[in-house]
Amino acid sequence: MKRLAVILLIFALFLCACAKQNENGTDDATETPAADTAPADQGGTEEISTEDWEKALDYPEFDFEGTDLTQYVKIGNYRGLTATRENDVLTEEEYENSLKAYLSDYVEYAKITDRAVEAGEEINVDYTGYLDGVAFAGGTAKGATVTAADNTGYIAGFATAYIGRMPLEEFSFNVTFPEAYANETLRGREVTFVTTVNYIEGTEPIYPELTDAFAQVKLGFGTAAEFSEYFRALLQKQKTFTVQNDLHDDLINQVVENSEVIQWPEDAVLHVYAVSRQYYENYAASYGMDYESFIQAVLQLDDAGMMEESRAMVKEELVVYGLMQEMGITLSEEEYQAYLAELAEVYDMTPEEAEASSSQESLDVTFRYQKMLREIEKLAIIIPAA
């Protein structure tokens, strides 16, 4: 039953979406920043030089938690905001789609045995390789998956030898190992493979039927109806949770937009920029591209845009932590345990499992962030979706 939660949702994503903080108080997005559009003006007019950006990789993390942030940011209005709450009732279509997605883990594919192998198909085979009539080490396999095409990881002529062959019929073929082959014994030697195609792997998925027997054997439930009831309830909890998070995202985005950076903590901005740039420098190199060309092609940004993205990330941190400071958000042990229990329920975990999934410091930040958003929600004008 716990396996279901792992397939449906990744616990780490919850932490990123809710707190957007790691245990050091930094935005996880600094590792892989996204940039679909050019960022809005982030406030603050001073230029930050990136000439020696690599030095900033070694800068210490900025202490958003322990710094008086009023010197850096003027928090925008967070009272009386207007936002729309979407309908959180699980629809039958959503249930069916989620059920299909879950059952895809148990999908099987047809095992075709009534026709010959065609080029490019995946096949299941048994084979044994012989050198001078003796089976050689590493040349035997049972139930191996082979793609009947060139350049699929096998020596030339091996995989294509299966094209046109019928399953369940033993046959043999000869191939020659290349002169540069790693195994000296086989270099340049002709060998014989005796082989059988067990079946051709079909490409159309066959989804299992949710029967009582399937529920018992595969899912650990007494009946299909019991599983359906459990699964529907879990999906409803998760949809309600998602709708609530979307509402909170809207509210905090409004606060960030309305806030003004008085001065930038330059080391923090440079560190975020440096981590981002190093990531894309390495990524670009793996494609044989330079950094500027890569970010233009992938992110539609130039280097100045990358700096603005870095400012945007730091501004969000300033606003979130500054707002928690201004609102005096703290968390009692009782509140911590209540948020932990809520999290565990949504993700089908025990509280102990949920707590073990991240550091207590990270969870504490996450839960304080959630508490702050709920306080802002109480002050807001919430309009139900039509």
The verdict on 91 and 119 lying in the same domain is: no
The verdict on 226 and 334 lying in the same domain is: yes
Q: Is residue 327 part of a domain?
A: yes
Q: Report the alpha-carbon distance of residue 329 to residue 242 in Å, rounded.
A: 23
The verdict on 266 and 346 lying in the same domain is: yes
The verdict on 161 and 237 lying in the same domain is: no
**β-pairing verdict for 122-131 and 134-147:** antiparallel
Q: Report the alpha-carbon distance of residue 285 to residue 281 in Å, rounded.
A: 6
Task: Give the pLDDT score at 43.
Answer: 52
What is the distance between the terminal CA atoms of the chain, rounded to a whole angstrom? 36
Q: Is residue 214 part of a domain?
A: no
CB 62 within 8 A of CB 21: no
Residues with pLDDT less than 70, the chain: 1-46
The verdict on 74 and 126 lying in the same domain is: no
Q: Is residue 216 part of a domain?
A: no
Task: Give the pLDDT score at 79.
Answer: 97
Final residue in a domain of this structure, among 153, 174, 206: 206
The verdict on 162 and 237 lying in the same domain is: no
- In terms of residue numbers, what domain contains 124? 110-206
Task: Tell me the CATH number at 174.
Answer: 3.10.50.40
The residues that bridge with 146 in the sheet, in sequence order, are 123
Number of domains in the chain: 2
Q: Is residue 201 part of a domain?
A: yes
Q: Is residue 374 part of a domain?
A: yes
Q: Is residue 226 part of a domain?
A: yes
Quote the pTM value.
Answer: 0.69
The verdict on 156 and 73 lying in the same domain is: no
The verdict on 82 and 130 lying in the same domain is: no
Final residue in a domain of this structure, among 151, 177, 206: 206
The verdict on 82 and 118 lying in the same domain is: no
Q: Is residue 187 part of a domain?
A: yes
The verdict on 125 and 173 lying in the same domain is: yes
Task: Give the pLDDT score at 46.
Answer: 60
Q: Is residue 336 part of a domain?
A: yes
The verdict on 177 and 118 lying in the same domain is: yes
Per-residue pLDDT tens over the stretch 72-95: 999 999 999 999 999 999 999 999
CB 14 within 8 A of CB 343: yes
The verdict on 115 and 91 lying in the same domain is: no
Final residue in a domain of this structure, among 178, 206, 234: 206
